[in-house]
């Protein structure tokens, strides 16, 4: 039993007890039981902890363009409460936002402001292409609609349908959370689109 790692220092972690060898167990450790300490604590890496924090409060930017924006507003409403996921704070300034939900058709005239907003966001940032029009141009294959926003911004999640149900958008958001928690890097690190 002495060979199994049971103490923090067996894991290579420095604690004040290690630096101060003559110090006895703290009140906290005594309450938990010194033998169960490692089981009572959560051990994690800094990366995972940071990703957990980012996932639980990924604030979207108010980028509602067309019909999908109405369904995006309805995920904030009380039935499909997005506040459960810590995301009801839609930031108006892209400098304060993490997630850009492109909801609606993007005209060529709007493509430049879209790219500007994306550039103003700080890393790490994610993009969800909500709806068929943002994913691929949707039912509009013409002179004025950008055939998919992934032509100008790197997209993490595509949510299909026209407009997607609020549950579908939330599924996309949750998948993004899970992907990020699992360590998948944001799209700008993976894809070579217009970065």
Partner 1 sequence: MTAFAKGWEGLPGFVSAKESFGETTVTVEREEIHAACERARDDGFTFLADIVTTDYLGWGHKGVSGYIGTGTGRDLNHPATQGFQSLPAPKPKRFSLSYHLLAMEQPARRVRLQCWLDEGESVASVVSVWPTADWHEREQFDLMGVQFDGHPNLARLLMPDDWEGHPLRKDYPIGGEPVRFSDAE
Partner 2 sequence: MTVAPERSARSRRDWPIVFPPPYEGSRIPARVPTILDVPAELLATDDILQINFGPNHPSTHGVLRLIVDLDGERVVGLNAVIGYLHTGFEKTMEQKTWWKCVTYPERIDYLGYQNAELVFVLAVERLLAIEVPEKATWMRTLLCELNRIHSHLIFLGTSALELGAISMFWYCFRERETILDLYEMVTGARMHTRYFQVGGLAEDIPEGFYPECRKFVEWMPHALDDYLALLDRNAIWLERTKGVGLLSAQDAIALGQTGPNLRASGVDWDLRRDQPYLAYDQVDFRVPVYAGGDVYDRYRVRMDEMAESTRIVDQCLRRLERMDGRPWIADDRKVVLPPREELHTSMESLIHHFKIVTEGFRVPEGEIYVAIESPRGESGCYLVSDGGPKPWRVHFRAPSFVALEATATCIGDAIIADLIAIVGSLDAVMGDTDR
Contacts with partner 2, residue ranges (CB under 8 A): 62-67, 69-71, 73-74, 76-79, 92, 94, 104-105, 107, 109-110, 113, 117, 139-145, 162-163, 165
82: enclosing H helix or E strand:
none
Query: Minimum distance from CB of 97 to partner 2 (Å)?
Result: 11
Q: Which of partner 2, partner 1, none has residue 137 at its interface (CB below 5 to 8 Å by kind)?
A: partner 1
Distance in angstroms (rounded) separating the CA atoms of residues 92 and 54: 19
Alpha-carbon 37 to chain mean position: 31
Among 22, 45, 78, 141, binds partner 1 (CB under 8 A): 141
Query: Minimum distance from CB of 171 to partner 2 (Å)?
Result: 16
Q: What are the residue ranges of helices labelled H in 41-80?
A: 46-56, 67-76
In Å, how far are 42, 67, 102, 155, 164 from 126, measured between CA atoms?
Answer: 28, 21, 11, 7, 19
Q: Are 46 and 183 in contact (CB under 8 A)?
A: no
Q: What are the residue ranges of helices labelled H in 137-165?
A: none
Give phi and psi for 127, each to the nearest 5. -130, 130
**Smaller CB distance to partner 2: residue 68 or 176?**
68
Task: Determine the size of the site formed for partner 1 (CB under 8 A).
Answer: 10
20 binds partner 1 (CB under 8 A): no
Q: Which of partner 2, partner 1, none has residue 96 at its interface (CB below 5 to 8 Å by kind)?
A: none
Q: Are 163 and 134 in contact (CB under 8 A)?
A: no
Query: Minimum distance from CB of 87 to partner 1 (Å)?
Result: 33
**Smaller CB distance to partner 2: residue 85 or 140?**
140
Among 144, 185, 194, 195, binds partner 1 (CB under 8 A): 144
Residues that bind partner 1 (CB under 8 A): 108-109, 137, 140-145, 147
């Amino acid at each position: 039993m002495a060979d199994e790692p049971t103490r923090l220092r067996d894991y290579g972690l420095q604690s004040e007890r290690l630096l101060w060898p003559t110090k006895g167990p703290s009140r906290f450790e005594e309450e938990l039981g010194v033998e169960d300490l490692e089981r009572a604590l959560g051990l994690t890496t800094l990366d995972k902890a940071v990703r957990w924090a980012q996932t639980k409060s990924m604030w979207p930017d108010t980028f509602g363009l067309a019909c999908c924006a109405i369904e995006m507003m309805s995920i904030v409403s009380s039935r499909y409460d997005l506040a459960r996921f810590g995301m009801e704070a839609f930031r108006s300034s892209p400098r304060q936002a993490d997630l850009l939900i492109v909801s609606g058709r993007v005209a060529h005239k709007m493509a430049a402001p879209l790219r500007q907003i994306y550039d103003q966001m700080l890393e790490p940032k994610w993009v969800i292409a909500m709806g068929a029009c943002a994913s691929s141009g949707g039912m509009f294959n013409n002179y004025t609609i950008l055939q998919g926003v992934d032509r100008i911004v790197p997209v993490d999640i595509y949510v299909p349908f026209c407009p997607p149900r609020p549950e579908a958008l939330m599924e996309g958001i949750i998948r993004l959370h899970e992907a990020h928690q699992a360590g998948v890097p944001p799209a700008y690190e993976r894809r070579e689109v217009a970065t």
